[in-house]
């Protein structure tokens, strides 16, 4: 088994959460109960646990003249997968251009987009121009 990431997060509605991750992002569902669901997001396990209410207060930060959410999680995929996801999500967002290029013409150059799920979590999908750009400066 390749290493995979697991994150458990509160959610407000199991059905809406499943619909967003499967219908909008193409993820698959693993185990499901009335109280929680496992989502397979690129072989990473997101467990959403039903709660009554929750609130995250988080500031944004500036990176290359973009205001980005401090609290977010995401997936790094190859450029073909990234384009497929972007096209699907961009259609869902009625054609709003939500992609951003960071570190243009530098090592670590990547293209990202950020979207929110039904629970208010911000997800980032990113692809690097060079494969070794994820950790190398």
In a domain, 1, yes or no: no
3-state secondary structure of 19: helix
- 23-67 pLDDT, tens digit each: 999 999 998 989 989 999 998 989 899 988 877 666 677 788 888
Looking at residue 69, its pLDDT comes to 77
134: Cβ contacts below 8 Å, ≥ 6 apart = 76, 108, 128
Task: Let me know whether 41 and 94 are in one domain.
Answer: no
* pTM of model > 0.85: no
Q: Does the pLDDT value for residue 6 go beyond 90?
A: no
Domain count, the chain: 2
Task: Let me know whether 66 and 96 are in one domain.
Answer: yes
Q: Give the mean pLDDT of the chain.
A: 85
Looking at residue 15, its pLDDT comes to 96
Rounded to whole angstroms, the Cα distance separating 72 from 58 reads 10
- Cross-strand pairs, 44: 41
Task: Write out the two tokens for 72.
Answer: 């977010």
CB atoms within 10 A of CB 68: 16
Domain encompassing residue 42: 6-50
Q: What are the DSSP calls for 43-105, one per residue? A: TEEEEEEE-S-------EEEETTEEEESS-EEEE--HHHHHHHHHHHHHHTTT---EEEESTT
Task: Let me know whether 18 and 42 are in one domain.
Answer: yes
Task: Write out the two tokens for 36.
Answer: 């929680």
With cut-offs at 50, 70 and 90, classify the pLDDT of residue 95: low
- DSSP run (H or E) holding 120: none
In a domain, 55, yes or no: no
Q: Does the pLDDT value for residue 1 go beyond 60?
A: no
């Amino acid at each position: 088994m390749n290493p995979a990431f697991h994150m458990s997060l509160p959610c407000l509605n199991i059905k809406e959460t499943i619909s967003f991750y499967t219908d909008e992002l193409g993820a698959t569902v693993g185990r499901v109960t009335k109280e929680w669901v496992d989502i397979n997001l690129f072989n990473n396990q997101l467990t959403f646990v039903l709660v009554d209410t929750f609130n995250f207060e988080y500031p944004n930060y500036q990176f290359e003249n973009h205001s980005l959410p401090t609290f977010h999680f995401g997936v790094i995929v190859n450029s073909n997968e990234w384009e497929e996801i972007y096209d699907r999500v961009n259609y869902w967002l009625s054609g709003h251009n939500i992609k951003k290029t960071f570190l243009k013409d530098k090592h670590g150059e990547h293209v990202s987009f950020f979207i929110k799920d039904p629970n208010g979590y911000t997800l980032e999908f990113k692809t690097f121009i060079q494969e070794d750009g994820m950790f190398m400066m």
